[in-house]
Amino acid sequence: MVFSSLFFVFFFFVLCMALVLTRKTVKGQNTVLLIFSLLFYAWGGPVLLLLLCGVTFICWLGGRVIGWLQRPFYRRLTLFMTVAICILIFVYFKYTNFLAESFRWIFRFDTVLPEIVLPIGISFYTFQLLSYVADVYRGEAEAQPSYLRLLLYASLFHQCVAGPIVRYSDVCAELDQRSITLQDLSSGVTRFAVGLAKKAVLANYCGSLASTALAANGLAEASSGTVFLGGLFYMLQIYLDFSAYSDMAIGMGRMCGLHYCENFNYPYISGSVTEFWRRWHISLSTFFRDYVYIPLGGNRRGLGRQILNLLAVWALTGLWHGASWNYVLWGLYYFVFLVIEKLFLPKLTDKTPLWSRILRHVGVLVIVWFGWMLFYFEDLSVFGTAIGSLFCANGNVFWDMNAQLMLLNNLFFLIVAILACTPVVPFLRRKLAEAGKSSPAWAAFGNGVDAAFPAILLFASFVSLIGNTYNPFLYFQF
């Protein structure tokens, strides 16, 4: 089951919210959310639900023992054992085939690879539970006495499958005590509608255009313009798709009185690679910063150690995204540019000339475009073919009729998709709100826009989803 399906939008979630809003106590609301979360996760395979429950039990037990123990040695030992068990389970399901395939290629032997199904969302709920155990160890959160309450935290269907990675310390208070206000319901519906429209109207069509342009069987003959446009549409798709999921998760959480962290902040307007990663997948970046980079020493032990710590973080970031060498190289690709920025490029300030800002911004977009191309092609030989066609090294032409038709037929859509990746709409809404403070007419107009906007988006999404109700999010595979 996916958020962008008619069954989920108009039945599953509506029924869940109806039951939540009619419960008079937080305990009753939590019971409804837990039941629906387990049903949601079991929809993709009931057996995999046992894995989620098992990993949660391991972390619940580990947290309880850490909270009970007093001696630092035994608390560290319990933390290590809990984390090690969870990581081993995670590695088994996500990386066994990758490791076996790599060893088979290195040592040139034939063997039958195991068939292991990757549980949906395992990367997200494993990291969330590990953050819980670490926070209990650090004293930043109390050990949760109720296994079912921790299971609710780990399995909340709003964000279990593809994030954001919600830390237990951020929501533990709301799991015990919260209220659902009209403001929460209103803002939650709007945020959900925005995410659904991003996915159903924009991301899905960007994905179809990218798949057509970057099809492996035609890459060698494709024009440079076709490859560039295919990469551009994929660049738009992956942001619109992933941020759409986060928007919908945050919106649904808010409707239930839960306030999840923001996960995207318009990363394509960044002026540096460092800024890009402060705006892209914020919950993952902060997780690696707080639970890997800083514990390794961060920038406190000299430049050499800092670079080594960055290398570890970005290798893990690449591996987290997928069990393939292109993801590892993608992580190391960003490591190289982050180090170059740190060592050789001055930081952007208010005194930086406009031409320099524009040049840096364009440079970041070029770096990100190439990064997404590396991310897209798991087969590195196909990636090489695509880059060869981009630079007309395969005997292909620079521009042809296919590229021209793709651009002209989708020019209006391309402009809308690009604008959706920028803060233009929030900026206009703020200006409208400012005008409404001094003019009743503008205030009435703004209220009308606020009321009509989510309805229009939901209708457009409904039309887009008719006949195409199964369109999983890209990050389900990670």
Which residues does the annotation mark as catalytic?
321
Please state the length of the chain. Answer: 478
Q: Which two tokens stand for residue 386?
A: 């695509």
d(CA 338, CA 293): 14
How wide is the angle at C-alpha 362 spanned by C-alphas 359 and 365, nearest 5°?
150
d(CA 93, CA 317): 17
d(CA 266, CA 153): 27
d(CA 152, CA 56): 10
> For the chain, how many helices (H) and strands (E)?
21, 0
- HSE at residue 297, side-chain half, CA atoms within 13 A, is 13
How many CB atoms are closer than 10 A to CB 80? 12
Q: Which amino acid does the sequence have at 123?
A: S
Burial class (CB in 10 A: 0-12, 13-18, 19+), 44: middle
Q: Which two tokens stand for residue 261?
A: 């962290």
CB under 8 Å to 49, separation ≥6 — which residues?
38, 41, 42
d(CA 168, CA 161): 16
How wide is the angle at C-alpha 336 spanned by C-alphas 334 and 337, nearest 5°?
65
Give the residue among 186, 75, 88, 179 at the shortest CA–CA distance from 134. 75
Contact between 234 and 206 (Cβ < 8 Å): yes
Q: Which two tokens stand for residue 277?
A: 């990663």
Cα→Cα distances 322→44, 85, 378, 440, Å: 19, 20, 9, 53
Task: Classify 222 as helix, strand or coil.
Answer: coil
Q: What is the per-residue DSSP string for 170-207?
A: HHHHHHHS----HHHHHHHHHHHHHHHHIIIIIIHHHH
Q: What is the distance in angstroms between the CA of the first residue and the CA of the last residue of the chain?
A: 16
